Amino acid sequence: MGKRKSREQVHGIFYPRSVAVVGTNRGRGTVPFDIFYNILKDGFQGTVYPVSPREKSVAGVKAYKYVIDIDDDLDMAVLVFPSTVAHLAMEQIGKKGIKSAIIISAGFREIGEAGMKREQEVKAIADEYGVSFIGPNCLGVINTDPECSFNASFARQMPAQGNIAFLSQSGALCTAVLDYALAKNIGFSKFVSFGNKADISEIDLLYYLKDDPKTRVILLYLEEVTEGKALMDVVQEILSERGKPVLILKSGRTTEGATAAASHTGSLAGSDEVCNAAFRQAGIIRCETIEDMFNYAISMAYQPIPEGKRVAIVTNAGGPGVLATDRAVHEGLTLARFSEKTADILKKSLPHTANLKNPVDLIGDAKKDRYSAAVSSILGDDGVDGALVILTPQSMTDIRSIAEELCSIGRRFPKPLYTSFMGEADVSEGVEILQRHHIPHYSLPEDMCQAFSQACLFAELRDRDPGQPTLYDDVDMDRADQIFATVREEGGKKLSMDQSFRLLDAYRIPLLPYGLAGSEAEAAALAGEIGFPIVLKVVSEDVIHKSDAGGVLLGLDSAEKVRRGYQGILESVRSSVAGARVEAVLVQKMAGDGEEVIIGIKQDPSFGSVVLVGIGGIYVEIFRDFVVRVAPFSRGEARAMVQSLKLFPLLSGVRGREPRDIESLLTCIERVGQLARQRPEIAELDINPLLVRSQGRGAVVADARVVLENLERKER
Amino acid sequence: MGKRKSREQVHGIFYPRSVAVVGTNRGRGTVPFDIFYNILKDGFQGTVYPVSPREKSVAGVKAYKYVIDIDDDLDMAVLVFPSTVAHLAMEQIGKKGIKSAIIISAGFREIGEAGMKREQEVKAIADEYGVSFIGPNCLGVINTDPECSFNASFARQMPAQGNIAFLSQSGALCTAVLDYALAKNIGFSKFVSFGNKADISEIDLLYYLKDDPKTRVILLYLEEVTEGKALMDVVQEILSERGKPVLILKSGRTTEGATAAASHTGSLAGSDEVCNAAFRQAGIIRCETIEDMFNYAISMAYQPIPEGKRVAIVTNAGGPGVLATDRAVHEGLTLARFSEKTADILKKSLPHTANLKNPVDLIGDAKKDRYSAAVSSILGDDGVDGALVILTPQSMTDIRSIAEELCSIGRRFPKPLYTSFMGEADVSEGVEILQRHHIPHYSLPEDMCQAFSQACLFAELRDRDPGQPTLYDDVDMDRADQIFATVREEGGKKLSMDQSFRLLDAYRIPLLPYGLAGSEAEAAALAGEIGFPIVLKVVSEDVIHKSDAGGVLLGLDSAEKVRRGYQGILESVRSSVAGARVEAVLVQKMAGDGEEVIIGIKQDPSFGSVVLVGIGGIYVEIFRDFVVRVAPFSRGEARAMVQSLKLFPLLSGVRGREPRDIESLLTCIERVGQLARQRPEIAELDINPLLVRSQGRGAVVADARVVLENLERKER
């Protein structure tokens, strides 16, 4: 990745005044021709010049042999020459003083090493001349702003103007998206296929769109997250400064998918759980499919963001009303209770067989008047945050009039109004009216409910206060440095149990009192100092599962038992793990009662150090009850992590159980977060278990292990 | 519910020869007219007569004042008179000797008590005359079989002929479904809106469709399951005898309020969980939305059911290929590995930039020839169970030719071929070709993958052997009878701890040795007989959470400790639960090591006795790790239950842990299943925990509670 692009550099891509299409020709239906012709035919407000070594004119426009032959101050070049000569073209573009380019041509990084070399060469020339470019290997760029009206793409059609921006790593997906959008009457502000992003990246584009007055919602299709932290930063800025939703469809979720992505664009997917967590942390709405993405986008782009989750469902058919209610409740929405005034209006306007409660059933023969009375009284009700309107095409339903009436009501109320006209052919005219007037329409009531709930989720993400990470200044940095230095001197990666404990101690994470004994007598003496009851654990590189090997003894309450236990452990371990070398026996204070929690650190290739919190012991593997966050994070986030665990009721106290010391747990999580941030050389850390005792009695580490990155990666 | 209808009775609804529409009129656009006119205009092969008190003719056809005036042997009446006079019309229908009717009219059970009375009256008259009928309160019945071509509905259009049957409890939903199907070129064999099902029920219709040669897939929309067991039985018959898929969309997931249940089993297994389990047990595919239902239906109706899960994905765009791969793997499908022969053909037929591995990327400029070579070689590969073909509309894509080629390939290979042409407008011509030739098409690649996985699921459900429930004949029935008799004599519902234990003992479910002590001395004596270590537990109706009240003492290893413990328990309980009456103290053998499991019984209003198995202790509430089955079930099903628990790895032995005695656990589950089946008066039973010891050492009940149904419900 190069430096961040300036606003002006990205702006140049969208708003050129004179453009050369370099490498075009007369072959209608081929990419080099289509690109030139699309710019020409789709109302470009500037001047476009064809550059073609062999043609006198292209589409009736005088062609030039070389870019430098053009007698005009060009500010943009669209490069469609084959990749093998792209570097020559870029040289000329640079010499001509052009500062913006779009490289459509494929045959670069995505085809392997030879292509990667070409890409680097082109990029180096561009850098030399200060050319910023999109691509290579992309469908192009579209700006629907009538001030410029620029379609530098080989898409079949120019999309309509709209307030949704779409950015895609995949060019092929763009054609399907444009076709889909056309059928649904969805318009775009900016549409960018950014391909291999050798220069301008999705991050640069996001910074630009943040301040683009034409854009209200930003959609992004990604196959790999290469700059995770930068992505989180820019989205957080977009949310806090502009309140624009950012929706991402990220493929490569599964291992097989990731492999396919790797063979396709040379990308490596990080763990999908981390990606989910990081997206949520940044305020990104992650979408499952292209359809979901547009379902959410139209609601956020067309309608006010809901101020709450209390929806009213209005329907002319009971069955779909029940299906919608099911989904609404499942999605965490609540069915609004109507005010007396609303109830009165409904009673007066609807037949006595109608259901006046939420979901409101207008009955099958409902026409415009009933829809009008119900929806407008409901949207005027202070207890309602939004209306979800369902229509089924009965023989007497005046679909067109109802659609028009809903558009008019939608304009009158500053609250979200979504619709679902079920069926296809019969309702198509009504649906088109709704779409043209920016009333979100969904074929399925269930999708309508899901879109509303995602808009509510967006409101939450936008309005939350992420808070600042605490910086604990009582950490003994020298001691921590010393431990790392020792491990490196020894050439190892894995910290010993004692080193791991001492590292945590340097970060003031509480430990059970312990010592290491090399003999029966030492063990007994240590036990005396620490106080009974005592736990003994074998310390040995060769014993992975200590309990299974008989290497753990609990609850020893006398010096004599400790002495016998020491011998017992040595015997058990030696008989169950042949040739095991025992380094020492850990003499530790018995933990007593406490809920077991795991806190861990791992390195993610996309997002860096992440912290995991979950149920401790063996159950974390079985129940996958854990949550992750990218470090650093605030205490508020640590609290949200703990509260989202299934384990949480056991921590907060259920069925008259004593509540646990959650504040101490939070402090431990924060300190591990600080450790993760200050020591990126930690590849893996497991505190398992941390024992969270009853309120006021703190939390203590019973066991921990730490592994560093490979030494060659330590400097970064 | 009446008796089951005979095949002939249901057949009469679909294949009438002369039909009277009773209560029609000349009001075009009203239901009474539309019904008559639809029969007339949609090619009915028999004779239709309008019966109207006031009209001379309807739609140009001579009308009759009364049904009895018609000089023909009528075999069907469609009743559209208002509900208030329906009983009079039914009387005449009966007298005329008509044996089949469809009651379209609303205003019955669905509007409350007055309507319910009317419905019962009509039903009684119909029974008297031997008239079988559909409805009331429905959209009607459609039979597309050209032999009859009968559209007795007020739908806007008659659907095309096809091999999918659709049954719906909601009439309004039908109009949306018909419109949707029209747009997707989906045909139906039979289409029934069965409304209030006062006579012919969905069960009768399912038995009929089982043997209907025109029907290959059966769809059912239900708002309530009234005859759960009958539904399970008929679907099991349909699967085992005919191998036809039954797909159900069941709404009302969330509307049934969770009534506070005292037992774990009662509170965990909500009606929707039970419905899910029962459907799966019966072999029903449960759908989430109408769209899902049709997505699955077209694949099963049009294409062979897959013989395995190895799919090949073929695409002209990388991005959608990755998205499809993600979803396929998520849905449990595997990406097929191609044979050398296939690999050779792909290598020869595709450009060098193509991805020859699965997912096969034909590259954006792919035309018919590449699709043809790839898809036919893949479908000819023995390692591939089905092909999933994606197309995005690039400027050079010959969409129409590719669609036609896929149709032709589909005919040549006896393996499933599904498609996803992405976008809308550009691909619409191709999509229509696919639909007309019964190549399943999905707008989203993700939906295509999901449909394939559901077809695989169907194959599993169809082919599995549900097995026979074991009947253990060593149960002491007399002793069990006696316990129930005693509880009833006492007028109670709840079994005491001792009664609960004795009931389980009668069913030969192993218990920890125990006794009840009323004094210190008794406790000590019992402990001596049972053997140390000993557990003491308070027995008191007033103490719900024994541990929390200090009512449990573990691991007492001497008579003296038992004596002191007895006193300690009395003191703790009395101080923590004011006024608690202590009946006795349970003296029980200490359990020792074992994995804790819960086994429970509850009564479900739709499906009767169900059995729950889950992780024991408090964790079952936290992690909701449980599974339910409708009783009875085979040992194979019991094994499937245990294997599907997240807990299973802990039972089968992970990380070198000792495997648990799963066979003994299965026997306990089977015996509880037998208890549930033989004693439907058990409202709730919790065995929690059952301790599953290491292999060969059995499983034992540590605690149990049993509650009976209300006495007035006991006889059934």
Whether residues B623 and A623 touch (CB distance < 8 A) is answered with: yes
The C-alpha atoms of residue B610 and residue B465 are separated, in whole angstroms, by: 20
Whether residues B251 and A322 touch (CB distance < 8 A) is answered with: yes
The C-alpha atoms of residue A575 and residue A578 are separated, in whole angstroms, by: 6
Whether residues A254 and B330 touch (CB distance < 8 A) is answered with: yes
Residues 340-399 of A with CB under 8 A from B: 353, 364, 392-396
HSE-CB for B165 with a 13 A CA cutoff: 27
pLDDT recorded at residue A25: 92
The C-alpha atoms of residue B644 and residue B630 are separated, in whole angstroms, by: 16
The C-alpha atoms of residue A574 and residue A580 are separated, in whole angstroms, by: 6
A253–B contact, CB cutoff 8 A: yes
> What's the predicted TM-score (pTM) here?
0.88
Nearest CA in chain A to B319: A170
CA nearest neighbour of B601 among B303, B154, B268, B279 = B268
Tokens in use for B304?
């062979």
Picking from B317, B330, B424, the nearest residue to A173 by CB comes out as: B317
Task: Find where tokens 């006062």 sit.
Answer: B198
Inter-residue contact B668 to B460 (CB < 8 Å): no
DSSP letter string, B594-653:
-EEEEEEEEEETTTEEEEEEEE-TTHHHHH--EEEEESP--HHHHHHHHHTSTTHHHHH-
Contacts of B625 in chain A (CB under 8 A): 623
Inter-residue contact B688 to B264 (CB < 8 Å): yes
pLDDT in tens, B431-490: 999 999 999 999 999 999 999 999 999 999 999 988 899 999 999 999 999 999 999 888
Picking from B111, B169, B316, the nearest residue to A353 by CB comes out as: B111
A262–B contact, CB cutoff 8 A: no
Contacts of A36 in chain B (CB under 8 A): none
- Chain A: nearest CA to B426, how far in angstroms? 6
Strands A514-517 and A584-589: antiparallel
The C-alpha atoms of residue B680 and residue A238 are separated, in whole angstroms, by: 61
Whether residues B319 and A168 touch (CB distance < 8 A) is answered with: yes
Residues 169-228 of B with CB under 8 A from A: 169-173, 175-180, 182-184, 221, 223
Picking from B318, B548, B650, the nearest residue to A264 by CB comes out as: B318
Sign (positive or negative) of CA dihedral B10, B13, B15, B16:
positive
What DSSP element (H or E) covers B189? Answer: strand B188-193
A622–B contact, CB cutoff 8 A: yes
Contacts of A446 in chain B (CB under 8 A): 288-289
Picking from B111, B172, B335, the nearest residue to A318 by CB comes out as: B172
CATH superfamily, domain A305-463, is Succinyl-CoA synthetase domains (3.40.50.261)
Contacts of B289 in chain A (CB under 8 A): 323, 444, 446
pLDDT recorded at residue B540: 86
Whether residues B329 and A254 touch (CB distance < 8 A) is answered with: yes
CATH 3.30.470.20: which residues of chain B?
595-713
Residues 549-588 of B with CB under 8 A from A: none
Whether residues A444 and B335 touch (CB distance < 8 A) is answered with: no
- Chain B: nearest CA to A356, how far in angstroms? 14
Contacts of B655 in chain A (CB under 8 A): 545, 548, 618
Sign (positive or negative) of CA dihedral A206, A207, A208, A214:
positive
Positions in chain A whose pLDDT score sits under 50: 1, 259-270, 712-716
Contacts of B319 in chain A (CB under 8 A): 168-170, 172-173, 221, 223, 251
The C-alpha atoms of residue A142 and residue A148 are separated, in whole angstroms, by: 10
A384: alpha, beta or left, given left = phi > 0 and alpha = psi -120 to 50? beta
pLDDT recorded at residue A339: 97
Report CA-CA distances (Å) from B36 to A652, B41, B291, B355.
Answer: 66, 9, 31, 59
DSSP letter at B23 equals T
Nearest CA in chain A to B359: A260
CA nearest neighbour of B691 among B595, B598, B615 = B595
Task: Find where tokens 């997002």 sit.
Answer: A607
Whether residues B156 and A426 touch (CB distance < 8 A) is answered with: yes
Q: Would you state the CATH architecture of domain A595-713?
A: 2-Layer Sandwich (3.30)
The C-alpha atoms of residue A157 and residue A3 are separated, in whole angstroms, by: 34
What DSSP element (H or E) covers B246? Answer: strand B246-250
Nearest CA in chain B to A111: B353
Contacts of A660 in chain B (CB under 8 A): none
**How open is the CA angle A370-A372-A373, to the nearest 5 degrees?**
65
Whether residues B655 and A548 touch (CB distance < 8 A) is answered with: yes
Whether residues B330 and A154 touch (CB distance < 8 A) is answered with: no
pLDDT at B653 over 50: yes
pLDDT recorded at residue A540: 86
Residue of B338 and B257 predicted with greater confidence: B338
Which amino acid belongs to residue A183? A
Inter-residue contact A581 to A540 (CB < 8 Å): yes
pLDDT recorded at residue B7: 96
Sign (positive or negative) of CA dihedral B319, B323, B329, B334:
negative
pLDDT recorded at residue A544: 73
The C-alpha atoms of residue B693 and residue B702 are separated, in whole angstroms, by: 12
pLDDT at B64 over 90: yes
The C-alpha atoms of residue A194 and residue A179 are separated, in whole angstroms, by: 19
The overall average pLDDT reported for chain B is 92
pLDDT at B274 over 80: yes
pLDDT at B114 over 60: yes
DSSP letter string, B105-132:
---SGGG-HHHHHHHHHHHHHHHHHT-E
Mutation target to probe the A interface, by most A beta carbons within 10 A, among B322, B422, B546 is B322
State in words which class domain B7-253+272-297 has.
alpha beta
DSSP letter string, A50-65:
EE-SS-SEETTEE-BS
Picking from B184, B326, B649, the nearest residue to A622 by CB comes out as: B649
Residues 397-456 of A with CB under 8 A from B: 422-427, 443-444, 446
Residues 84-113 of A with CB under 8 A from B: 111
Inter-residue contact B699 to B690 (CB < 8 Å): yes
- Chain B: nearest CA to A392, how far in angstroms? 6
User: ipTM of this predicted complex?
Assistant: 0.82
CA nearest neighbour of B204 among B16, B15, B11 = B11
At B493, the pLDDT band (50, 70, 90 cuts) reads confident
DSSP letter at B316 equals S
Nearest CA in chain A to B169: A319
HSE-CB for A234 with a 13 A CA cutoff: 18
Picking from A154, A177, A326, the nearest residue to B251 by CB comes out as: A326
CA–chain centroid gap for A661, Å, is: 32
CB environment A69-84: b (16+ within 10 A), e (fewer) = ebeeebbbbbbbbebe
Which amino acid belongs to residue B615? I
Mutation target to probe the B interface, by most B beta carbons within 10 A, among A268, A326, A390 is A326
A27–B contact, CB cutoff 8 A: no
At B366, the pLDDT band (50, 70, 90 cuts) reads very high
Contacts of A396 in chain B (CB under 8 A): 29-30
The C-alpha atoms of residue A495 and residue A466 are separated, in whole angstroms, by: 34
CATH label, B303-463, candidates 2.40.128.260, 3.40.50.300, 3.40.50.261, 1.10.3720.10: 3.40.50.261
pLDDT in tens, B601-611: 999 989 999 99
The CATH number assigned to the domain with range A513-589 reads: 3.30.1490.20
Which amino acid belongs to residue A26? R
pLDDT recorded at residue B256: 36
State in words which class domain A7-299 has.
alpha beta
Partnered with residue A548 across adjacent β-strands are none
pLDDT in tens, A418-429: 999 998 888 999
Residue of B170 and B126 predicted with greater confidence: B126
Residues 6+ apart with CB under 8 A from A477: A506
CATH 3.40.50.261: which residues of chain B?
7-253+272-297, 303-463
The C-alpha atoms of residue A362 and residue A342 are separated, in whole angstroms, by: 14
Whether residues B172 and A394 touch (CB distance < 8 A) is answered with: yes
Mutation target to probe the A interface, by most A beta carbons within 10 A, among B326, B330, B429, B573 is B326
CATH topology classification for B513-590:
Dna Ligase; domain 1 (3.30.1490)
pLDDT in tens, B186-239: 999 999 999 999 999 999 999 999 999 999 999 999 988 989 999 999 999 999
Per DSSP, helices labelled H in B380-470 are 399-412, 428-436, 445-463
The C-alpha atoms of residue A142 and residue A152 are separated, in whole angstroms, by: 6
Residue of A709 and B596 predicted with greater confidence: B596
Contacts of B396 in chain A (CB under 8 A): 29-30
Strands A584-589 and A534-539: antiparallel
A683–B contact, CB cutoff 8 A: no
The overall average pLDDT reported for chain A is 91
Q: What does chain B come to in residues?
A: 716
Contacts of B444 in chain A (CB under 8 A): 289-291
DSSP letter string, A525-553:
HHHHHH-SSEEEEEE-TT-SSTTTTT-EE
pLDDT at B255 over 50: no
Q: What does chain A come to in residues?
A: 716
Picking from A173, A395, A446, the nearest residue to B319 by CB comes out as: A173
Tokens in use for B486?
């005693």
pLDDT at B247 over 50: yes
Contacts 24+ apart (CB under 8 A), B478-483: B479/B505, B479/B506, B480/B506, B480/B507, B480/B679
pLDDT recorded at residue A651: 93
- Chain A: nearest CA to B644, how far in angstroms? 12
Whether residues B179 and A425 touch (CB distance < 8 A) is answered with: yes
Q: Residue B46: is it exposed, middle or buried by C-beta count within 10 angstroms (0-12/13-18/19+)?
A: middle
Inter-residue contact A663 to A651 (CB < 8 Å): no
Whether residues B444 and A330 touch (CB distance < 8 A) is answered with: no
Q: What percent of chain B has pLDDT over 70?
A: 96
